[in-house]
Amino acid sequence: MNDLPLGALFGALVFLLFLSAFFSGSETALMTLNRYRLRHLADAGHPGARLADRLLLKPDRLIGLILLGNNFVNILASSLATIIAIRLGGEGAIPIAAGLLTLVVLIFSEVAPKTLAALHPERIAFPASWVYTPLLRVMFPLVWLVNLIANAVLRALGAYPDDADGTSLSREELRTVVNEAGAMIPRRHQKMLINILDLEKVTVDDIMVPRNELDGIDLDEPLDVILEQLEQVPYTRVLAYRGSIDNVVGFLHSRRVMQAQLDHELSRETLEALIREPYFIPKGTPLNRQLINFQRNRRRTALVVDEYGDVQGLVTMADLLEEIVGEFATDPADQIADVQPQDDGSFLVDGSANLRELVKTMHWELPTDGPKTLNGLIVEYLESIPENGTSLLVAGYPVEVVQTQDNAVKTARIRPDDRRTAAAED
């Protein structure tokens, strides 16, 4: 070693520092790879991704190989630096060489390559996989021995590498993953994924058409009256009952009825034969469960009943899907049909307006964990049926009861622009 020129020793030292930077940077790059994207690229046939995926299947072997190589080159670099220091300045130069080498290794072989790898993991990890794959085969006996000894030490300390925790994520952890995805997931898709995760929190009671708004045909009516009603109903599936909504018979497919009429085959018997039996679901069913039930029973419409079997409302597959993808209405006015803006900045709101819809469309911060409608919220707050002209604050919003009808609030005026001032005065 003493016969080698200083230029060769410095060249070897620089090469060892480069190898140290390679080991450090590639370790960070491989460990910070997005595993989902890696698996996607591997399935798509990307050769570097395939090699990286195979290496990461046994991370203990990969880490053992990297650390073995990194420590070897660092120790060898330290030995070379000591020899160079002695030849340049004697034994007194050894501490100076150690300090300079520590600084150089820290900057150029640790911090800089690891930072670069964390910023661009794929650019470093995939090429490095071509190096580590054959190197692991060559060094496998030594890596296996190192891992064997290391695992034995861990077991002696009460840690068992084979008993690693599962990688399954909870709903809240999945929510965090989606929220932190940023530009990797388009904003609209991100919102849809969050809505899917939130289906468990929402029940059929929150999205159903309430009983008092249900429309259908009474089979006790004359046939010509029924046909006239079917021609005017804008829905494909129509609720059929006898006498009242409490005596539901089922659902009629209006197109099939009209086809039978065109074929001159329509009679009361034919009409009743076309009725499909109703599908009942209990109140409080979470939407994620109901989505599966719709699929399993091959139904698109269901009647929501309470514990006594009384019909409380109707929910459709379209209503459920809107909770995921958003409103299907193309006209913005259709989305807020229960809300009428006024010139003074206030809004006239129908008492039957769904609170969740108001929160989503109008972005008002109204409570949604209690009553489902604005009327229910006002009545719960006052604990009585209000009279016309009654004013109150609901969640800081000034609300004025404009009209009551049938023991319920028919119309109310909300002034969202005055919320902060009103809340402060309250």
- Secondary structure of the chain in HEC code, one letter for each residue: CCCCCHHHHHHHHHHHHHHHHHHHHHHHHHHCCCHHHHHHHHHCCCHHHHHHHHHHHCHHHHHHHHHHHHHHHHHHHHHHHHHHHHHHHCHHHHHHHHHHHHHHHHHHHHHHHHHHHHHCHHHHHHHHHHHHHHHHHHHHHHHHHHHHHHHHHHHHCCCCCCCCCCCCCCHHHHHHHHHCCHHHCCHHHHHHHHHHHHHHHCEHHHHCEEHHHCCEEECCCCHHHHHHHHHHCCCCEEEEEECEEEEEEEEEEHHHHHHHHHCCCCCHHHHHHCCECCCEEECCCEHHHHHHHHHHHCCCEEEEECCCCCEEEEEEHHHHHHHHHCCCCCCHHHHCCCEEECCCCCEEEECCCEHHHHHHHHCCCCCCCCCCEHHHHHHHHHCCCCCCCCEEEECCEEEEEEEEECCEEEEEEECHHHHHHHHHHC
pLDDT at residue 331, as a whole number: 44
Say how far apart CA 296 and CA 293 lie, in whole Å. 5
Say how far apart CA 129 and CA 55 lie, in whole Å. 8
Residue 89 has pLDDT above 50, yes or no: yes
Is the CB of residue 287 less than 8 Å from the CB of residue 324?
Answer: no
Looking up tokens 């002695």 gives 86
Find how far residue 267's CA is from the centre of its chain.
Answer: 51
Q: What is the CATH number of domain 332-425?
A: 3.30.465.10
Structure tokens at 274: 């076309």
Residue 25 has pLDDT above 80, yes or no: yes
User: Class of 203-325 per CATH?
Assistant: alpha beta
Residue 178 has pLDDT above 80, yes or no: no
pLDDT at residue 264, as a whole number: 73
Q: Which residue has the higher pLDDT, 60 or 329?
A: 60
Tell me the mean pLDDT in the region 198-213.
85
pLDDT at residue 420, as a whole number: 61
Q: How confident is the model at residue 425 (pLDDT cuts 50, 70, 90)?
A: very low
Is the CB of residue 377 less than 8 Å from the CB of residue 389?
Answer: no
Looking up tokens 């999205």 gives 207
Domain with CATH 3.10.580.10 in the chain: 203-325
Is the CB of residue 321 less than 8 Å from the CB of residue 199?
Answer: no
Is the CB of residue 22 less than 8 Å from the CB of residue 112?
Answer: no
Q: Per the confidence metrics, is the pTM higher than 0.75? A: no
Mean pLDDT over each residue of the chain, to the nearest integer: 84
pLDDT at residue 358, as a whole number: 85
Domain with CATH 3.30.465.10 in the chain: 332-425
